[in-house]
Amino acid sequence: MHRLVDAHVHGVDFLQRVLPADELQAVLAGPDGPAGVVLFGLPMKKKWAQSEPRTPHYYLDGNDPCSYFPLTDQLVADLYLQLPDDLRARVAPTVCGFDPTDRLAVEHLEWAFDRYPFWAGIGEVMLRHDDLTNLTAGEHPTASHPALDAVFDFARRHDRPLALHHDSASAGRPAEHEYVPQLGAMLDRHPRTTVVWCHAGVARRIEPHDQAALVDELLDAHPGLHIDVSWSLLDRIVGPDEDGRSRQVDPDWVRLIDRHPDRFVLGSDSVAQLDDLRPLHGRLSRLVDAVHPAHRDALAHGNAERLWFARR
């Protein structure tokens, strides 16, 4: 298995229950553990209402809404500070606990960066996100919302990557990429901000057609844009093994990564539990094996180290 930096690990779940520090420490210290971890919170919390007979654990568990939860950043900071110094150097904590439709959202970033010096980035910011968008109380976020201009500017001033989840399309119109112009407009307004597009617009019920070709065009047009291969995008490119046999790695995405080898990072998108890291990292290693040998180190760890670790 390749030396990997896992660029997408959530330190809390959707009830804001925190990953135990000793579990993260054991994974990092283990012989098969990742070389580094980018540690996100989650910007919203799922409600458990009296109408639901069972405690939810995920945003899809029940019909109750989610609401923005700024304390998630303090929870991530506390988790990070519990690690020993040698392992702390291999973890890049990020800030995400703000409402991206609030024009005062940047004040939350200012508070977080004033309180702690170690933040390595911003994200995962949840914009359009399939069913989570419909379940989150308040105004629906978009990639071109004016509240985000100050967030993009803040990321540029502090030289920190900004990780966004923004679906390319709605579940009913996956071929139309109707939400991509919103992202393109924001990238045009902020060409000097480093942006990581989590899952490249692909979600559980949203698999737009010709997505690799679309991503290719966006990478050509926006030098600061990077792509996070995790969650549903990983399933699309390197699906789970079937009947004990490994599925072929999608050749269109292999060609795309080889064309832009400095623009992709890899992640598990684990949510406050690390039991499934080994099989997920195995699938990520299969993708690394599929690209040109000259690009493997950059894909496996070099790009993530440059984005989140070298800037601190």
14-57 pLDDT, tens digit per residue, is 999 999 999 999 999 988 899 999 999 999 998 888 878 788 88
Res 243 pLDDT > 70: no
Res 208 pLDDT > 90: no
Q: What is the pLDDT of residue 242?
A: 63
DSSP states along 83-110: S-HHHHTTEEEEE--S-TT-TTHHHHHH
Comparing 3 with 224, the larger pLDDT belongs to 224
Contact 75, 18 (CB under 8 A): yes
Show contacts of 181-188: CB within 8 Å, 24+ apart: 182/142, 182/143, 182/144, 183/143, 183/144, 183/218, 184/218, 184/221, 184/222, 185/143, 185/144, 186/143, 186/144, 186/148, 186/149, 186/152, 187/218, 187/221, 187/222, 187/224, 187/225, 188/222
Tell me the average pLDDT across 133-140. 81
pLDDT in tens, 105-125: 999 999 999 999 999 999 999
Which among 197, 187, 200, 41 is positioned nearest to 108, based on CA atoms? 41
Tell me the average pLDDT across 69-92. 97
Q: What CATH number corresponds to the domain at position 80?
A: 3.20.20.140
Query: What's the sign of the alpha-carbon dihedral 212, 264, 298, 219?
Result: positive
Q: What is the pLDDT of residue 245?
A: 60
- Taking phi over 0 as left and psi of -120 to 50 as alpha, with beta for the rest, 103 belongs to alpha
Res 247 pLDDT > 80: no
38's tokens: 């980018």
- Taking phi over 0 as left and psi of -120 to 50 as alpha, with beta for the rest, 292 belongs to beta
Res 130 pLDDT > 90: no
| Angstrom distance (rounded) from CA 303 to CA 200 | 16
Q: What is the pLDDT of residue 248?
A: 84
- Min mean pLDDT across 57-66, 188-197, 253-262, 297-306 is at 57-66
Q: Which residue has the tokens 């991530």?
A: 76
Mean pLDDT score of the chain: 92
* Range of the structural domain that residue 41 is part of: 5-309
Res 104 pLDDT > 70: yes
User: Into how many domains does the chain fold?
Assistant: 1
Helix (H, G, I), strand (E, B) or coil at 155: helix
Cβ neighbours around 271 below 10 Å, total:
21
